[in-house]
A and B are shown apart, each in its own frame.
Chain A
Amino acid sequence: MNAGQKSARRIAAGNGPISRDTVCVSCLHRLTHPSRRNASTGTALAESPSSPTQQPRHPNPPVTTAKAPRKAYQLLASPVLSRPPLLTRDLTSFEKAYYLYQKRLNERLALPFTRYFYYKKGTPGDAEWKRKIKVRKTPARDIGVYAAYGDEGWNDEVLVGDRTAERESVVEALLRDAEGKGIVDEEVVGDKDTEGLVVAGDAKVGEGQRRDLTKVEVERPVERVTEADRANNMRSLSRKMDRTLYLLVKNREGRWRFPQDRVHGRENLHQAAERILVQGFGIDMNTWIVGNHPIGHHQMNYTSGGAPAPRLAKISPNRLVSTSRDRPEYEQEEYGEKVFFMKGRMMTGQADIGKNEYGDSEFRWLVKEEVEEAVTGGYWKSVKDMLAER
């Protein structure tokens, strides 16, 4: 016969000390150790074995209730929309020199290139390879003319001022190789009778040369420095492609800030940030708000002559927030502003200031240093740690 839970509780409530003789082991456990899931009971348990005078220590102490009436602040959400860097950064001179040297050492240490694994004997590709390798002496195309296994293999270091490691030279070498030329111009072969020029009829002399019968058109890579960089067009997203660009607007007071607006109704910060981007710049921006919580905050108290000067604000419903339309326009005395910044990433599109509903006059995409110059000191202090270095 099974006694069950209820009888166990009756025994626990009524009679004396409960033990294994009066209830089963599992009921005994449940009765003597109530659930630990509730934080308050957890602390109660911790208290009972120890002395009753010990206070439970909270990692986050609760906010003490204020005695004075609570002050209202204007609650604002502000999306910090950034276009992440689209290009890798330029290498430093040390990095360029280091990588070139390591590549040349690799040529010396790696096994020789197995030509016939890549080019079949007698094919035009094979002939092209033989022609090109004679000029550059090494299979690699970006380390200049260097014979790793030759007599001058020991001379692997370049002299100061050498441009082999520069990006422009590497790109030039690769393009020349793609066009079918050697990476450097070959010396013209001839004798003193022909004054160093190749004679057309002499087959022997002209063996190593080739004439450009067909010009191979190779697409050049797009420049890293764009038109927007040269014109310093601060509204363009193609400017400073190796840096993060942040979207700032000039508000109706003439200050440069991240776009911001009041949080209406029962919307959360994520929703507010998305709405602000649409209401501020139109729908032609493909954006993503990262996470549901802010990455920073800024507080500004309304003061006049050092003393708090609360302002009366009229809060009207917003057409895009349905929960704000439940309540008609109302007034609230506000002691300042509390802005919460939400991280946003821009994929494609562009801002359209014509669609702005907040009275902002213009927008700019700025890097971190330019943001510092544009915004005021107190705002910059709140904002600077959110912005990426690159």
Chain B
Amino acid sequence: MALLQEVTSSFLRRFRAPPASLHRIWASQCRHASTEAVAQETDELEVSSFLQAEGPTQQAIERFDPAGVAKRRNRRLPPSRYQFRSPRYYRGPLHPHQPPRPSEPSSREFAPGPFSLPRLEQTYHDTLASDYMVLAYAHLPPGQTAFKKGDRLRRWEGDSPYFKNRPLRGPRGGDTLRLLRKPVTFRNVPQLQRVTVHTMSSDAINSGAALHVSGMVLQAITNVRAEAHEVKKSVAGFGVRAGMYLSLTCELKGEDMYHFLSKLVDVVMPKMKDWPGVKGSSGDFSGNIALGLKADEVALFPEVEVNYDMYPPKLIPGCHITIHTTATTDQDARLLLTQIGIPFFGKLVN
């Protein structure tokens, strides 16, 4: 009985908070860089074998040679020692074999990457984003109220009693609503979202090789496997039947997108002959800007230029490049792309 009491009391002592002043507890919870604060924090940590364990000895480090061990082995290992295939189907949370996360190398859906920290991404976060915020700021002096816009959806006005709960009318000029533009703050500076490279070859109507060549070119310049699309509707005028594979697209996101845009702006655009820039009217009113490259201009990409002779003559395609941004207006998207280095010419249409 006494033993049980002793055990219980020692057990309870570990769980009871040490008698400490409120100030000391608060000070320990603040994060300071000083060694005193660190020492204080480590004092309050529980004793653990992890903290006391030592690393491997120098001898163990020098002798570690997995490749050498494998070479010197005479016998053959059973396949289960070096072969592993993750389960093909998900059989529920209680099944003993759970599929690994897609980020695990052993997963069937593993896609390696990223391989680098792109220069354009760094430049955007360090330089361009803060400049954008300054440029897009709209000041409201104290005492002035913001200009109040009319209702987007108009009410039915008049005497008629049927107007009261009638569904609201669209804006004048059409029923399509443009995207609302939120003020630009540090939390929603427009960013590059993705890039779509698209090409369609009419040579592919007669020869399948043309589509393969286009696919190789797109793969070379974007580092992404191209996806083929079939024609939806037959048009006799173009000599095209539904179900024919004539066009390819590549979706670029993240690292691939930044590398592609850097190459486009720094290598390809300066070499383009008599190129005035991207048209000012380019844009879908939602912050996505598109431009086109001719076949000669696609050949200026370093990946195509290096083995230009390997491609059949006249089969290197031109392409459309659509740059999707998180901006909601063309004006904002154009400002971002101008910062990146893409020139615009002509009347700027929003």
A-side residues, CB < 8 A to B, are 19-20, 25, 28-29, 33, 36-37, 39, 42, 58-63, 84-85, 88-89, 91, 95, 99, 102-103, 105-106, 109, 117-118, 120, 152, 154-155, 159-160, 244, 290-291, 293, 295, 343, 345, 388, 390
Partner of A159, one of B64, B110, B126: B64
5 sampled A-B residue pairs with Cβ under 8 A: A29-B157, A103-B112, A105-B105, A117-B307, A117-B310
State whether A155 touches B66 (Cβ < 8 A).
Answer: yes
Distance between Cα atoms of A295 and B186 in the complex (Å): 13
- Residues from chain B with a CB closer than 8 A to the CB of A105 are 105, 110, 112
Distance between Cα atoms of A30 and B82 in the complex (Å): 83
Closest to B66 in A: A155
State whether B114 touches A39 (Cβ < 8 A).
Answer: no
State whether B139 touches A293 (Cβ < 8 A).
Answer: yes
B140 CB–A CB distance under 8 Å: yes
State whether A106 touches B112 (Cβ < 8 A).
Answer: yes
State whether B134 touches A291 (Cβ < 8 A).
Answer: yes
Closest to B118 in A: A88
State whether A388 touches B115 (Cβ < 8 A).
Answer: no
Chain B positions 76-118 with a Cβ under 8 Å from a chain A Cβ: 82, 105, 110, 112-117
B67 CB–A CB distance under 8 Å: yes
Return B149 CB to nearest CB of chain A, in Å.
9
Partner of B135, one of A39, A91, A118, A291: A291
Distance between Cα atoms of A159 and B157 in the complex (Å): 77
State whether A19 touches B159 (Cβ < 8 A).
Answer: yes
State whether A58 touches B159 (Cβ < 8 A).
Answer: no
Known A33-B157, A106-B112; judge A390-B142 contact (CB<8 A).
no
Chain B positions 185-231 with a Cβ under 8 Å from a chain A Cβ: none
State whether A20 touches B159 (Cβ < 8 A).
Answer: yes
Known: A39-B145, A152-B67. 15 other contacts (CB 8 A): A20-B158, A61-B143, A63-B142, A84-B126, A89-B122, A99-B115, A102-B113, A102-B115, A106-B115, A117-B307, A118-B306, A154-B82, A155-B66, A244-B126, A290-B135
State whether B115 touches A291 (Cβ < 8 A).
Answer: no
Closest to B64 in A: A159
Closest to B157 in A: A29
State whether A388 touches B130 (Cβ < 8 A).
Answer: yes
- Residues from chain B with a CB closer than 8 A to the CB of A42 are 148
Return A140 CB to nearest CB of chain B, in Å.
10
- Residues from chain B with a CB closer than 8 A to the CB of A28 are 158
Return B171 CB to nearest CB of chain A, in Å.
15
- Residues from chain B with a CB closer than 8 A to the CB of A388 are 126-127, 130
Distance between Cα atoms of A103 and B105 in the complex (Å): 12
How many chain B residues touch A (Cβ–Cβ < 8 Å)?
A: 42
State whether A103 touches B130 (Cβ < 8 A).
Answer: no
Return B117 CB to nearest CB of chain A, in Å.
7
Return A148 CB to nearest CB of chain B, in Å.
11
Partner of A91, one of B110, B112, B117, B146: B117
Partner of A290, one of B134, B145, B307, B309: B134
Return B102 CB to nearest CB of chain A, in Å.
13
Return B77 CB to nearest CB of chain A, in Å.
11
State whether B134 touches A343 (Cβ < 8 A).
Answer: yes
Distance between Cα atoms of A58 and B64 in the complex (Å): 72
Return A41 CB to nearest CB of chain B, in Å.
10
B-side residues, CB < 8 A to A, are 61, 64, 66-67, 70, 82, 105, 110, 112-117, 119, 122-123, 126-127, 130-131, 134-135, 137, 139-148, 150, 157-159, 306-307, 309-310
Partner of A60, one of B115, B123, B140: B140
Known A62-B143, A103-B115, A155-B67; judge A290-B131 contact (CB<8 A).
yes
Q: Please give me the 4 A-B residue pairs with the lowest Cβ-Cβ distance, nearest first.
A: A62-B143, A106-B112, A84-B127, A291-B134
- Residues from chain B with a CB closer than 8 A to the CB of A20 are 158-159
State whether A345 touches B131 (Cβ < 8 A).
Answer: yes
- Residues from chain B with a CB closer than 8 A to the CB of A39 are 145, 147-148
Closest to B138 in A: A293
- Residues from chain A with a CB closer than 8 A to the CB of B309 are 120
Distance between Cα atoms of A370 and B157 in the complex (Å): 65
- Residues from chain A with a CB closer than 8 A to the CB of B143 are 60-63
Return B84 CB to nearest CB of chain A, in Å.
11
State whether A62 touches B142 (Cβ < 8 A).
Answer: yes
Distance between Cα atoms of A143 and B137 in the complex (Å): 46
Distance between Cα atoms of A273 and B334 in the complex (Å): 27
Known A61-B143, A63-B142; judge A291-B137 contact (CB<8 A).
yes
- Residues from chain A with a CB closer than 8 A to the CB of B147 are 37, 39
Partner of B126, one of A85, A91, A102, A345: A85
- Residues from chain B with a CB closer than 8 A to the CB of A99 are 114-116
Distance between Cα atoms of A95 and B296 in the complex (Å): 38
State whether A95 touches B117 (Cβ < 8 A).
Answer: yes
Partner of A106, one of B113, B117, B131, B158: B113
Return B21 CB to nearest CB of chain A, in Å.
31
Partner of B127, one of A85, A91, A159: A85
Distance between Cα atoms of A282 and B331 in the complex (Å): 35
- Residues from chain A with a CB closer than 8 A to the CB of B142 are 60-63
Closest to A102 in B: B112
Return A38 CB to nearest CB of chain B, in Å.
9
- Residues from chain A with a CB closer than 8 A to the CB of B141 are 60
- Residues from chain A with a CB closer than 8 A to the CB of B135 are 290-291
Distance between Cα atoms of A155 and B70 in the complex (Å): 10
Closest to A389 in B: B126
Return A21 CB to nearest CB of chain B, in Å.
9
- Residues from chain B with a CB closer than 8 A to the CB of A29 are 157-158
Closest to B148 in A: A42
- Residues from chain A with a CB closer than 8 A to the CB of B105 are 105
- Residues from chain B with a CB closer than 8 A to the CB of A118 are 306-307, 310
Distance between Cα atoms of A95 and B114 in the complex (Å): 10
Closest to B135 in A: A291
Distance between Cα atoms of A28 and B160 in the complex (Å): 13
- Residues from chain B with a CB closer than 8 A to the CB of A244 are 126-127
- Residues from chain A with a CB closer than 8 A to the CB of B70 are 152, 155
Distance between Cα atoms of A42 and B151 in the complex (Å): 12
- Residues from chain B with a CB closer than 8 A to the CB of A390 are 126
Return A336 CB to nearest CB of chain B, in Å.
20
Return A19 CB to nearest CB of chain B, in Å.
7
State whether B144 touches A60 (Cβ < 8 A).
Answer: yes
